[in-house]
Structure 1
């Protein structure tokens, strides 16, 4: 069965080339929610939030099951019932969003790489994926899907402006005028598009019209937002007034970035370029990268929290997204790694950012309020990207949330930091089987895995969707050409040795888990005792009342500690009302529950004492 699901516009379903009617709006919302999370189970609770705009009715679950049954008659075995969840299996070319983001990424890469002519075709093709209207047109609004639709609509505007940038770079000035004017009529607050219109007019010899466009932009921003145009647009205005030769079109292989048409960087101002290198062996996570990109280049505040389990590739994803948007932040990129140390305070983070922006250490104010004020003053209105990794608490980064247009913030941590107001959130789950095999193959070679399909499937299962575990096993195979996949699997099957094997050079699943646990323990001493208790029977679900009795605390206190583990992706909720440890966390908890002598017996752990008692 060949499916085509289209969400970029009115929701549409095609089966083997024939249009199928998904049914009423709520059924279409179920289809859209499952398609957006394709190949991952979506719980009934999450589906409820995607379908109903207000308090769901008492019959919500029954209605969802009815909608799912109707969809299964069309989708067949592509729609799978899971425990209290549904999963829709789709191929990479069966959802228009996936194709749109693939084409947009291809075009953006060519544009950044200095090939504007080649970039135009994939960018046009990406826009052709849209069928008019907004993403998810016709579905209920006010649901949990609203942020996804807003993100996609923002990505569409960005792609249009990237295509405009490519066309400006190859000299298509006059044909652009009417298109950019229509774009601005619908989206009058897009400063980048105002700059593109000014540049196109100037290159067509219409200098007065370019100056008028700037006045229109100024009036619009003042009237609707109460702000003046940013420095980039003001700089372009000055260049038009001066008839700067830098604005003339010169055929070249490098793209012309309108926002920096006349770069002026005072010698005294430091432009930080602190992003770590982008990983070459980055596999999958395309929708999540696109969500982060949309969050930091979209609405104010341009801030996003990337969360997920230890070893899920959060940092790598954030760095990849930061590199993808680096050209949009020409005034610098600051990277701060807190190392999941809960003892790092907001004033230390602020001081680190100020130093990165060129403030001498001796001049950094002593007061945290003054430091926050200095940071806000220095980043306001500037195209500056801040990335803060290893965050354990919202208080560490709250002062960095942008107060207006210009700067952007990416926060990376195990927790979703729900108390941060107005930020978008991108949560990473375990990587799927296809992506897991691709990641191991990137290290060990695809032919080696194809030769042992059953052992490869078991290896992927034992790594439990952990990007870190998969990278380590791939590196181990690469370093041992004589080691078969089946032999490595046999070693990994023994839980007592598993974490010892999931270590390679400076990478360690145990160390990654230990950091997350230590951060939680610093805020709640019960966490250490709780994990040791759960480690005594790591495969059994924990019930709050029974756990409370064994710990000697109230049920409410035990439930709060269990929820802290869930928030940090160290536990999962189960029905009815229980909690279970994820696979690799079980191995770690079992070690914590063992005697210190057993811990010391492991030659590769680095532990010589009980890490919970220490």
Structure 2
């Protein structure tokens, strides 16, 4: 049975590629303790100390046997009963801790034999085993705490050994941001302060290198009451003297000049981006859909998710929330790209944006899109990197970002399904139900105000048609005018001629959101504009396919293909009786455009076909 146990982050267990992680913190602690002592018997007394932070209860042995029985259903006969003990039998590659230590040892050996490029690959792969803080979610104050602390210390050592290898390979310019972040998170790591000083010196910023020494000295004095050690003070003197041995020179013998990322792999030139936008505090709806995205991203297979839904359905907010929930699982960074529904953005431009976020200087990004894709795949292979692309209009824009193996993950946010992307999980957002809409409004204006006039609130939810964006705007209006009765806003929104005027607040606008979706569909299909114009003038046309085919002079099959495109973009909904129907807010938007068909930006005509009059 293929088994994978991951402890370098939240405990995870996979058998046959399926996530079978046990529930319950104590049960996971039993598994973690047995895995850390793999192939050795662990007494019940020691096991109890790994599970309970204080004196184990009288039922400890019975509880442990119950936990082991449940774990045996997961790991099978590998979990063996010994006299007053248990043993979990694992091979080396089945536990990420063992794999991390193996790769780290190989990297140190290469560094000791003056092979920095080889060391970079091994040490970088060792760090890629980590998905977050080890022991996360397990009981604290137990005997396992020392094991987690030891592993955390090993991780810091490997990071600094990797920095040493990259310094030896002349990669000082690419590692500045990572070292600054490392020192900020671990200010008592003297070796890291010295590495940051040397990086700045080699980048030509001597004043900054000297300032780092003063910062380190202040930290050590304040927190430890001591002066920096000999390594740091010696480096400080060398920087003051502009000592020639501080400058990097190409080693004698076979060249160890740093190559392009595509040639030496992901450890070269890697930056750790943290680009996720803020998580909306008012976003309380769609827990099931959010959980679906999170589950897909945490699965063992290459993870790619398309979040799709109508304009204003809260796609971006949901994707950002899910990304924040799994951020710790992607310690190599999170990239966020907003295409703003622009169909003209090419796949090559998207790749260039991502490569720059990963530390590739703009001048070094390849001209050829295929080469950019190759660089990207080489850089992210095995890396726990999350890429979120918002406002996608075409599958081609994100196809090259699809994970080619385990490690990286992708969330694409689009109004369309992006049906030609294979191997992705699709999460579709439907209009909010009444209860979810109430919860969203309550976070903005307070539940007491809504319950004061339940009938008006229900009507307000109906006028917003389940649109997250419309509900947010309506809530913002009520919050701005605390004395305004909900019924007053309902009366204003009741006039559908001006409803979209009211559903706009600063940079939030239902009209603008719909306009982006319409523009993207028109750019893809020249018949989309004329059909939408026809629907705006006659939204309830029963014979839409035949009428549009006649007036536009094309076949009914071509009309049906265009209608499928509109359905795919959530601008049209299939209806069992009438064939198709317009969602409420889309209907009002198209009615606005039908009133002024020749005035940009409202004209819906395609480049070669004029809108058809009623």
Give your verdict on TM over 0.5. Answer: yes
Equivalences for residues 252-331 of structure 1 within 5 A: 264=159, 266=163, 267=175, 269-331=270-332
Aligned partners of 1:314 and 1:428 also within 8 Å = yes
Deviates more, 1:572-581 or 1:287-296: 572-581
Structure 1 residue aligned with 2:92, among 189, 207, 214?
A: 214
Deviations 1:229-257 (A, max 9, x none): 99347878xxxxxxxxxxx9557999988
C-alpha change, 1:613 and 1:234, in structure 2 (3 Å) is closer
Shift of 1:476: 0.3
Deviations 1:479-499 (A, max 9, x none): 011221111111111111000
Confirm whether residue 610 of structure 1 aligns to residue 602 of structure 2: yes
Aligned partners of 1:349 and 1:397 also within 8 Å = yes
Q: Secondary structure at the match of 2:475?
A: helix
Shift of 1:520: 0.7
Deviations 1:26-62 (A, max 9, x none): xxxxxxxxxxxxxxxxxxxxxxxxxxxxxxxxxxxxx
The structure number with the bigger radius of gyration is: 2
1:556, 1:415 → 2: CA distance?
A: 21
Structure 1 residue aligned with 2:47, among 174, 198, 201?
A: 174
Deviates more, 1:555-564 or 1:306-315: 555-564
Shift of 1:537: 2.1
1:581, 1:422 → 2: CA distance?
A: 31
Confirm whether residue 164 of structure 1 aligns to residue 58 of structure 2: no
In the other structure, the counterpart of 2:434 is 433
In the other structure, the counterpart of 1:486 is 487
Q: Secondary structure at the match of 1:412?
A: strand
Aligned partners of 1:230 and 1:381 also within 8 Å = no
Aligned partners of 1:538 and 1:587 also within 8 Å = no
C-alpha change, 1:173 and 1:357, in structure 2 (3 Å) is farther
Q: Secondary structure at the match of 2:497?
A: helix
C-alpha change, 1:395 and 1:173, in structure 2 (3 Å) is farther
Equivalences for residues 537-556 of structure 1 within 5 A: 537-541=538-542, 543-556=544-557
In the other structure, the counterpart of 2:454 is 453
Aligned partners of 2:128 and 2:384 also within 8 Å = no
The alignment of Structure 1 onto Structure 2 pairs a total of residues equal to 425
2:150, 2:311 → 1: CA distance?
A: 39
In the other structure, the counterpart of 2:344 is 343
Q: Name structure 2 gaps, 5 residues minimum.
A: 1-7, 37-44, 52-63, 80-84, 100-121, 131-142, 164-174, 177-269, 607-614
1:487, 1:259 → 2: CA distance?
A: 63
Aligned partners of 1:305 and 1:410 also within 8 Å = yes
In the other structure, the counterpart of 1:403 is 404
* Cα RMSD (Å): 4.2
Deviations 1:277-331 (A, max 9, x none): 1110111211111110111111322111110000000000000110111111111
1:409, 1:454 → 2: CA distance?
A: 43
In the other structure, the counterpart of 2:115 is none
2:73, 2:448 → 1: CA distance?
A: 54
C-alpha change, 1:438 and 1:235, in structure 2 (3 Å) is closer
Deviations 1:495-536 (A, max 9, x none): 110000000011000000000010111111211111111011
TM-score, structure 1 as length reference: 0.62
In the other structure, the counterpart of 1:511 is 512
C-alpha change, 1:446 and 1:368, in structure 2 (3 Å) is same
Deviations 1:80-127 (A, max 9, x none): xxxxxxxxxxxxxxxxxxxxxxxxxxxxxxx99xxx9xxx9xx9xxx9
Q: Name structure 1 gaps, 5 residues minimum.
A: 1-110, 128-133, 135-149, 189-193, 198-203, 222-227, 237-247, 600-607
1:286, 1:261 → 2: CA distance?
A: 36
